[in-house]
Amino acid sequence: MSQIKIFDTTLRDGEQSPGVNLNQVEKLEIAKQLERLGVDRMEAGFPASSKGDFQAVKAIADTIKDTSVIGLARTTKQDVDIAWEALKGAASPSLHLFLATSPIHMTYKLKKTPEQVIDTAVSMVSYAKQKFSQVEWSAEDASRSDWNFLAQIIEQVIDAGATVINLPDTVGYTTPNEYGEMFRYMRENVPNIDKVQLSCHCHDDLGMAVANSIAAVENGVTQVEGTINGIGERAGNAALEEVALALKIRSDFYPYHTNLKLDEIKRTSDMIAKFTGMSVPGNKAVVGRNAFAHESGIHQDGVLKNTETYEIITPEMVGVKSNTLFLGKHSGRHAFKDKVKEFGYELSDEKLKEAFDAFKLLTDRKKEVTDDDIFTLLTDIQTDTAAASKYEMQMFQVQYGTANIPTATVSMKTPEGDIVQTACTGQGSVEALYKTLEALIAEEVNLIDYQISSVGGGKDALAESHVQLMVNGETVNGRGAAQDVVEASANAFINAVNRHVVQQTNLKKEVIRS
């Protein structure tokens, strides 16, 4: 069976999802999990886009050793040089260059003639090859490009040193038949096409990203690009977990395989959902909470007799485990440490103690502590930004009921070290709390989105909240968990504000250094 390489762009294209704003610690944890998942290549970011992205890509490149780390760049020398500085510490530094080739993009966005586009692409691939042994070149909006022109530019960038040719369906416009035919045409009309790998990159605007990716594989593509959970701009990208499972389950039809460790899919999906705040729909293929649920009596009867009657994927195949008690209030530090390692987290002694203390506190309040509970605790602690200058809630109290006006009182420590306190009312408990927090925070804050969900089930389940705030004109996400829904909401709000505070502090430090 032929191997299909998996190119994950969750950290680059996935982070371009509206409202998603990952910090460096979160990106590094995602990169480590993607390495455990077994992706062949990971696009860590766009180094030239910002100092923050440059630092995150550099940290990932310096850490990840078993997966090729890639940076995105426009066809400019400055972008290529910045990408090299970020990636040169990687085990196998690679570059992803892109340039639009469709008539509408060349005319209105690039304002270049087809000849100028070819010259730019060739010169920049040649320049990049002086630094990077692996150079992927993408024809942005390939699915709306002239095929004859595509064949010309592809031939020339291959001669210039490109090692991978990617033909993306940038706007999710094409169909499986059209997309497959495009790759077949290039294989038949580009004389040096055998010198490179062909790659596909599909968006899901018409709901056909996975189908288009499979069609590309059927027509000679050996690398599939996409994201975990299918996140990305607009309607997102091809969901890599769906592509991998389609090839696995239908191996009788598709003579291909990937190197993904399929039992790491669920954990990877959960991590991406938590960090991005983009919850996985219940009916999502492979990783949705209903993917293995059966409500129909006929279905339940069939599954009880033989799971293959209605389940083509076993829960264990993708890493879904029964959410049973694994540790309790009498569990010791050693057992807890072993569980932390099982989750793939590497905690410092200080954070391990913090996590264990939080776990013990949870066992006093919650009858059953599950894997999901522990994963949530570890995620929050591992990605918490350790900074002296940030907001810390000292105390909060909310009074509400059907017969009185909801009122919240909050005492908070400011980044300057002052203790401030006030109270506000609202139409509900969360509104009262958020108005109080806004009154105490010096930054200008506006709530854009608020979500609350439970971790697992039961009346004593942990609550997890995600918020999106506009802080001093910048969109920031926040995440918080607690056994009380109001406390979880407060934690998420403060987490978002602190992300902005820490980011601004780091930017000031960079300015001083420079």
pLDDT tens-digit profile of 219-241? 999 999 999 999 999 999 999 99
pLDDT tens-digit profile of 277-301? 888 998 999 999 888 764 444 444 4
pLDDT above 80: residue 323: no
> 411, exposed or middle or buried, with CB in 10 Å at 0-12, 13-18, 19+?
middle
Percentage, residues of the chain above pLDDT 70? 92
pLDDT mean over 5-27: 92
CA–CA distances in Å: residue 78 to residues 49, 212, 370: 11, 34, 49
Q: What rounded mean pLDDT belongs to the chain?
A: 90
Any idea which architecture 392-513 has in CATH? 2-Layer Sandwich (3.30)
Supply the pLDDT for residue 326.
56
pLDDT above 60: residue 149: yes
pLDDT mean over 388-397: 90
Q: Greater confidence, 34 or 16?
A: 34
Supply the pLDDT for residue 511.
58
Using pLDDT thresholds of 50, 70 and 90, give the confidence band for residue 385. low
Q: Greater confidence, 21 or 468?
A: 468
User: What are the backbone dihedrals phi and psi of residue 69, each rounded to the nearest 5 degrees, phi first?
Assistant: -100, 130
- Give the H or E element holding residue 438: helix 429-440
- From CA 363, how far away is CA 312, in angstroms rounded? 37
Q: What DSSP designation does 281 have?
A: P
> 506, exposed or middle or buried, with CB in 10 Å at 0-12, 13-18, 19+?
middle
Supply the pLDDT for residue 328.
64
Supply the pLDDT for residue 308.
56
- Give the H or E element holding residue 479: strand 474-482
Q: Where are the domains of the chain?
A: 2-276, 288-321, 333-365+375-380, 392-513
> 433, exposed or middle or buried, with CB in 10 Å at 0-12, 13-18, 19+?
buried
The CATH topology of domain 2-276 is TIM Barrel (3.20.20)
Using pLDDT thresholds of 50, 70 and 90, give the confidence band for residue 438. very high
pLDDT above 90: residue 425: yes
Supply the pLDDT for residue 296.
41
pLDDT above 90: residue 137: yes
CA–CA distances in Å: residue 343 to residues 24, 29, 269, 346: 20, 12, 13, 9
Using pLDDT thresholds of 50, 70 and 90, give the confidence band for residue 31. very high
- Least reliable range by pLDDT among 28-32, 251-255, 450-454: 450-454
Map tokens 């940038």 to a residue.
170
Q: What DSSP designation does 283 have?
A: T
pLDDT mean over 443-455: 93
Supply the pLDDT for residue 97.
98
Angle at the Cα of 465 (from 442 to 368), degrees rounded to 5?
Answer: 135
- Least reliable range by pLDDT among 150-164, 365-379, 467-481: 365-379
Q: Greater confidence, 207 or 459?
A: 207
pLDDT above 70: residue 386: no
Supply the pLDDT for residue 301.
47
462-471 and 445-455 beta bridge pairing? antiparallel
pLDDT mean over 87-91: 96
pLDDT mean over 149-162: 98
462-471 and 474-482 beta bridge pairing? antiparallel
Do residues 186 and 151 lie in contact, with contact meaning Cβ atoms separated by under 8 Å? yes
Same fold yes or no, 2-276 and 392-513: no
pLDDT mean over 34-63: 96
pLDDT mean over 187-204: 98
Supply the pLDDT for residue 359.
86
Supply the pLDDT for residue 512.
63
Long-range contacts of 355-360 (CB under 8 A, 24+ apart): 355/381, 359/327, 360/329
Percentage, residues of the chain above pLDDT 90? 70
pLDDT mean over 41-56: 95
Amino acid found at 226 = G
- Least reliable range by pLDDT among 79-83, 94-98, 334-338, 470-474: 334-338
pLDDT mean over 69-86: 98
Using pLDDT thresholds of 50, 70 and 90, give the confidence band for residue 402. confident
Do residues 165 and 157 lie in contact, with contact meaning Cβ atoms separated by under 8 Å? yes
- From CA 305, how far away is CA 155, in angstroms rounded? 57
Supply the pLDDT for residue 309.
59
pTM of the predicted model as reported, rounded to 2 decimal places: 0.88
Q: How many residues does the chain have?
A: 514
Q: What DSSP designation does 461 have?
A: P
Amino acid found at 67 = T
- Least reliable range by pLDDT among 23-37, 291-305, 307-321, 330-344: 291-305
